[in-house]
Structure 1
Amino acid sequence: MAQAVLTIDLSAIRANWYALAAMGRAETAAVVKANAYGLGADRVAKTLAQIGVRRFFVAEAQEGVALRRALGPGPEINVFSGHMTGDTAAIRDAELTPMLNSIDQMLRHVEALPGHPFGIQLDSGMNRLGMEPGEWAALRDIALSQKPRLVMSHLACADERDHGMNAFQLQTFRQMTDGIGAPRSLSATGGILLGTDYHFDVTRPGIGLYGGLPFVDAAPVAALDIPVIQVRDLVPGESVGYGNTWVARKPSKIATIAGGYADGIIRAMGPKAYVWAGETRCKIVGRISMDLIAVDVTHLDDMPETVELLGRHQFVDTLGDAAGTIGYEILTSLGNRYARRYVGA
C-alpha cells in the first residue's frame, strides 16, 4: 500500500501537558487550534479532557463548534478571534467564550448575547490582536462590570528567553490588569518556560504539547513512516527528478518514496533533509515533487519497506530547520492522505 502512516502518540501529549502544568501553580489549559496543530483536535482534546483539562483555546468560532461537538458540554472553549460578524449563532449554540479584541466586538457581543460569557484580549505590545492600552482604559470599568471569564495577552518573543520584549510586555500587562479581579493569562508554551512571573492564573500551552520547541524536553508526538515504492540503480551522470538538480557522481541506488508536497512535506526542505531507514540516515535527493521523493540508499545493505521522516530520530523542528521554517508549520502542514494511527489512548 503506497500510503504513508502518521502516528500520533496521545500518551506523549498527556506527558507534555503534565510536565508543563508542573512548572507552576496556574490552571493549565490547552490550545487545540488548527485541528490541534494538525494532529486531530477531537482526539487530542478528548484525551486532555480525560485528565482534567477544563479550558481549551481555538482560533475561530467554527473550530469551536467542531470541538464542542467532540467534547460535549462542560469544558470551556475560548475563541481567540473574538465575536466576529456572523458568529453569534455559533457562539450561542456551541456555548463558546469569545476573547473580545475591540470595543466593536464588545458592543456586538453584549447587544447580541447579553449575559453570555466572554473574555478579553489585550495588546501588550505585539500589535496583532487585542485592545490597546488607551482603548482598554476607556472600556475597562464597563467590561469588568460584565465579569469576563479571562483577561489575556500574548507574548511576541517568548521563545527567546533573554529578549527584552518579554519584560516589556510583562510590565505592560501588569499595568493594564493589576487589581482587576478577573483571572489573567499571558503565557503560551514559551511564556511558561520563562518562569512563574509570567504564569498569572491560566497558562495556554500549544506547541509544547505537540513536541515542538521551545520546550526542549517535550516528548515527541508525531511519527511519519513513508513506504518505498521502487528502488533503481543509477550510473554516474544520470539525474533524478524535476530539473535534473541531482546527478549521480558514482553508481547509486535511489529509492522513490510515497510522499510529497501534497502531503505537507515542504518542497523547500529537499536540499537539506534526510529520512531514516532503521538506524541509518539517508539523504533526500532531487526536488520534492507533489507525490514522490527520491532518497539515496546506496549505503544500505538491505532495502527498507518504509522510511521515517518524523519520529524518534528526527523531530518536527529538525525538519523545520531543513525547510527554513519552524516546527509549527511542519505540523500544521501535514496532509489528509496519511493513514492516521493513534496510540497511547
Structure 2
Amino acid sequence: MLLSPADRAGSTGSSGGVLTVDLGAIQRNYRRLVAQAGGAAVAGVVKADAYGLGVERVAPALLEAGCRTFFVAHLTEALALRPLLPDGAELFVLNGLLPGDERLCAESGIRPVLNSLEQVAAWSALGLSLGRRLPAAIQVDSGMSRVGLAPQEVEALASDPARLAGVETVLVMSHLACADEPDHPANAAQLAAFETLAARLPAARRSLANSAGLFLDARFRFDLARPGIALYGGAPNAVRPNPMEPVVRLEARVIQTREVPARAGIGYGFSVVADRPMRLATLSVGYADGWLRSASNRGAVAFQGRRLPIVGRVSMDSIIVEAGEAALAPGDLVDLIGPEASLDAAAEAAGTISYEILTALGHRYERRYLSANKGDRP
C-alpha cells in the first residue's frame, strides 16, 4: 500500500518532493493483465527507465510476479537491464540495432526487433558468420507508419527465404495506433493487415496487443501481449473506468505560504492577477522536476481532502497554489499525484498523456519503493 501520512512525516525533508512507487501494485497490475490476456503470455515493457519509475526496481518486481519477457527501446537500455535478468528471460530491443551493434547485442544475449530489410540483412550475416541462427523478432508495419517492414518488404522476405538464413524468427509483431479508442476503425484494419503480413513470414509467436489492445476483443491477443502504461497504473483507454491499481504517489513540499492583496501579480508574467485577497502556498517542485509548464494555471494539488488550484506559471523549481483555508505550513507535503489527484487527471490538466507525466519525472525527488512483501525502502 502507499505510505500513510505518519510514514511520510518521517521523510528527510531535504528534497523538494517525494516520489513513492508501489512495486506491489505493479505486481498486482501485472497479474491483472495476465488474467485479462486469457492464456496469452504477458511481457513487461520497461523502456525509458520503466516509464521513469526505476527499471532496477521495477524489473525484479515483475520477475517476482512471473514475467519472463521484457521490452526496451534501445540497446543501451538492454545492456543495463540484462544483468538484472536470469538467463531464461527474453529481452527485446524495440528500435532494433544501429549498424555495428549486432555483435554486442548477440554476445549479450539480447534479441533485436528487426524493423527493416537492412537490419534483417545485418543480423542474418552475423548469424551466418557465427555458424548459427540468431534469435530475433520481426516487426511489420500494419498501418502505423512508424517502424517495421512495409508490405513490400515482407513480400521480399517471403519470396527469398535465404534472406533469413542466419535468423531464428522467435516473434512476429506489430503495434496498434488507436487501441485506446476501442471503436476506432483502424483497430480492425490493423488486425487484418497484421494477420496477412504475419502469414507470409516464418511460423513464430505473434504479438499485437499493447496495454489498450489487451482490452479489445480476444482476436488481438495472439501469443504475447506487451503492456506498458497499464503496469504503472495508467488507464488503458479513456472510454472505460481504469481497471488498474495506482502505482505512483508524487508529493511536493511547501516552501512558504503568504497572503497577497487584490490586484497582486502571481508568478512569471503575471499570468494571474489576484481578483481578491488570497492565501498562496509555494511548492518546491517545478518543470525541472518534470511537472510540466503546460500545467500552468490548470489543474490542482490535493491536501487533506482539499483541492488547491495551481495559479500562475509553473517555474523551473516551484509552483504556486491557492491555499485557501488549508492548514499548510512549510515542510508539509501535498499530493500532485495521489489518492485524490490521479495520474490521468494530472495528465489531462497538463494537456498531455500519462506516459509523458511519468517519463518526465526528474531525479531530484526523494524516491521510496514499496514492496508487497518487504515494506518501504529508500
Pick the TM interval, shorter chain: over 0.9
Aligned to 1:189: 211
Specify every segment of 5 or more residues in structure 2 that has no aligned partner in the other structure, as ranges: 1-12, 373-378
Pairing of 1:310-325 with structure 2 (within 5 A): 310-325=337-352
Is 1:152 the equivalent of 2:170?
Answer: no
Deviation at 1:122, TM superposition (A): 0.5
- Alpha-carbon distance between aligned partners in 1 of 2:25 and 2:46, rounded to the nearest angstrom: 15
Is 1:232 the equivalent of 2:264?
Answer: no
TM-score, structure 2 normalization: 0.88
- Alpha-carbon distance between aligned partners in 1 of 2:113 and 2:256, rounded to the nearest angstrom: 51
Is 1:121 the equivalent of 2:147?
Answer: no
Name the % identity.
Answer: 44
CA offsets 1:296-318 (integer angstroms, 9 cap, x no match)? 11232454711100111122221
Q: Residues 189 and 143 (structure 1 numbering): CA distance in 2 closer, same or farther, change over 3 Å?
A: farther
Q: Residues 65 and 203 (structure 1 numbering): CA distance in 2 closer, same or farther, change over 3 Å?
A: same
Task: Give yes or no for contact 1:276–1:309 (8 Å, CA) kept in 2.
Answer: yes
Task: Give yes or no for contact 1:65–1:90 (8 Å, CA) kept in 2.
Answer: no
Residue range with higher mean Cα deviation, 208-217 or 150-159: 208-217
Q: Residues 11 and 86 (structure 1 numbering): CA distance in 2 closer, same or farther, change over 3 Å?
A: same
Letter in 2 for 1:181: A
Is 1:243 the equivalent of 2:269?
Answer: yes
Aligned to 2:55: 41
Task: Give yes or no for contact 1:147–1:182 (8 Å, CA) kept in 2.
Answer: no
Pick the aligned partner of 1:53 from 67, 73, 77: 67
- Alpha-carbon distance between aligned partners in 1 of 2:141 and 2:41, rounded to the nearest angstrom: 22
- Alpha-carbon distance between aligned partners in 1 of 2:370 and 2:65, rounded to the nearest angstrom: 16
CA offsets 1:36-80 (integer angstroms, 9 cap, x no match)? 110111111110111221100000101000111222433110011
- Alpha-carbon distance between aligned partners in 2 of 1:101 and 1:117, rounded to the nearest angstrom: 14
Aligned to 1:299: 325
Task: Give yes or no for contact 1:235–1:250 (8 Å, CA) kept in 2.
Answer: yes
Residue range with higher mean Cα deviation, 80-89 or 38-47: 80-89
Aligned to 1:264: 290
Aligned to 1:175: 196
Q: Residues 63 and 29 (structure 1 numbering): CA distance in 2 closer, same or farther, change over 3 Å?
A: same
Specify every segment of 5 or more residues in structure 1 that has no aligned partner in the other structure, as ranges: none
Task: Give yes or no for contact 1:255–1:297 (8 Å, CA) kept in 2.
Answer: yes
Task: Give yes or no for contact 2:134–2:168 (8 Å, CA) kept in 1.
Answer: no
Task: Give yes or no for contact 1:42–1:71 (8 Å, CA) kept in 2.
Answer: no
Deviation at 1:89, TM superposition (A): 3.9
RMSD: 1.6
Deviation at 1:161, TM superposition (A): 0.3
- Alpha-carbon distance between aligned partners in 2 of 1:83 and 1:230, rounded to the nearest angstrom: 50
Is 1:69 the equivalent of 2:83?
Answer: yes
Is 1:91 the equivalent of 2:105?
Answer: yes
Residue range with higher mean Cα deviation, 286-295 or 135-144: 135-144
Pairing of 1:282-297 with structure 2 (within 5 A): 282-297=308-323
Task: Give yes or no for contact 2:298–2:311 (8 Å, CA) kept in 1.
Answer: no
Letter in 2 for 1:272: R
- Alpha-carbon distance between aligned partners in 2 of 1:317 and 1:226, rounded to the nearest angstrom: 18
Aligned to 1:3: 16
> Could you say what secondary structure the match of 1:262 adopts?
helix
- Alpha-carbon distance between aligned partners in 2 of 1:160 and 1:192, rounded to the nearest angstrom: 12
- Alpha-carbon distance between aligned partners in 1 of 2:101 and 2:341, rounded to the nearest angstrom: 40
Aligned to 1:198: 220
Is 1:12 the equivalent of 2:39?
Answer: no
Task: Give yes or no for contact 1:62–1:90 (8 Å, CA) kept in 2.
Answer: no
Task: Give yes or no for contact 2:124–2:163 (8 Å, CA) kept in 1.
Answer: no
Q: Residues 80 and 302 (structure 1 numbering): CA distance in 2 closer, same or farther, change over 3 Å?
A: closer
- Alpha-carbon distance between aligned partners in 1 of 2:54 and 2:351, rounded to the nearest angstrom: 25
Aligned to 2:184: 163
- Alpha-carbon distance between aligned partners in 2 of 1:311 and 1:202, rounded to the nearest angstrom: 32
Deviation at 1:116, TM superposition (A): 2.1
- Alpha-carbon distance between aligned partners in 1 of 2:236 and 2:223, rounded to the nearest angstrom: 21
Residue range with higher mean Cα deviation, 103-112 or 173-182: 173-182
> Could you say what secondary structure the match of 1:67 adopts?
helix
Residue range with higher mean Cα deviation, 70-79 or 124-133: 70-79
